Amino acid sequence: MTVLNHPWSPPPKDLVLQANDVHIWRVHLNLATGKIEQLAQTLSTDEQQRAARFHFEKHRQHFIVGRGMLRTILGHYLNLKPNQLEFSYSSRGKPTLANTDTNQGLYFNLSHSNELALYAVMPASSIESAQENYSLGIDLEYMRPMPEVEKLAQRFFCPRESTLISSLSPALQQEAFFKGWTRKEAYLKATGDGLAGLEQVEVSLNPGEPAALLSIKGNQEAACHWSMYDLIPAPSYAAALVVEGHGWQLQRFAVAEPN
């Protein structure tokens, strides 16, 4: 798949989610105090309790913005107020819409790292899948310096990926590791599997090579049923999107920009 290095623009007023669309939203988590307080009012009681348990104020504020903007974005598509949305969670913590009248409307996934959050949204009717809300996954990582990259690759990546990373220069090792991690985790989030399956998902890692899912548990045919995209939300960030099927039209929107 082609790396999506396109500008992130504000959403149009007449925003429409077509059957083959995937909308990706970028949100900055460092917002003005007044905006954070507004978003806090949209959270459910359990979300407010979760926010209160964060030890550091910065992490508490990031959680409020991340959850509040999720509610704002989904509410836009569903024509609901943010505080009207109800969520349920899988055994691994993946949120889904619990409202009985809106549950079939959207698939969504989210990820946050450092000062950014990404959200992916698509119409649920796009996918004919036996899985429930597991048809897309997105992952975002801030590319901080990572010591002992080769050892981490040996632990979490498959042997061929680990060998490739060991053959690269130190700078390219860092980039390949983060791209590999986001690509793998995006797929595992799409399927609802945990990080224990990282080494069972093989992805492309050669510098300059397009993002691709190569095999799943050694099965190349299974990998062909998925589309994988690299995203560039900001400098020093790696991100990937994985969607079941092919032929998707991606649109990228930026909201909640820092003041």
pLDDT tens-place string over residues 19-38: 899 999 999 999 999 999 99
Return the structure tokens found at 140. Answer: 């975002």
Residue 53, H or E segment = none
The reported pLDDT for the residue numbered 95 is 82
Q: What are phi and psi of 58, to 5 degrees?
A: -60, -45
Query: Residue 133 above 70 pLDDT?
Result: no
The reported pLDDT for the residue numbered 132 is 47
pLDDT confidence bin for 163, thresholds 50/70/90: very high
pLDDT confidence bin for 102, thresholds 50/70/90: low
Which sequence spans correspond to the domains of the chain?
Answer: 21-255
CA separation (Å) from 67 to 51, 91, 199? Answer: 10, 19, 30
CA separation (Å) from 256 to 19, 27, 49? Answer: 26, 5, 23
CA separation (Å) from 210 to 117, 131, 201, 227? Answer: 23, 27, 16, 11
Q: Indicate the CATH number of 21-255 among 1.10.357.10, 3.40.50.2000, 3.30.930.10, 3.90.470.20.
A: 3.90.470.20
Strand 249-255 vs strand 237-244: parallel, antiparallel, or unpaired?
unpaired
Q: How far apart are CA 123 and CA 96, in angstroms?
A: 13
pTM of model > 0.75: yes
**Per-residue b/e over 116-149, b at no fewer than 16 CB within 10 Å?**
bbbbbbbbbebbeeeeebbbbbbbbbebeeeeeb
Q: How far apart are CA 81 and CA 211, in angstroms?
A: 37
Q: How far apart are CA 220 and CA 91, in angstroms?
A: 28
pLDDT tens-place string over residues 35-46: 999 999 999 999
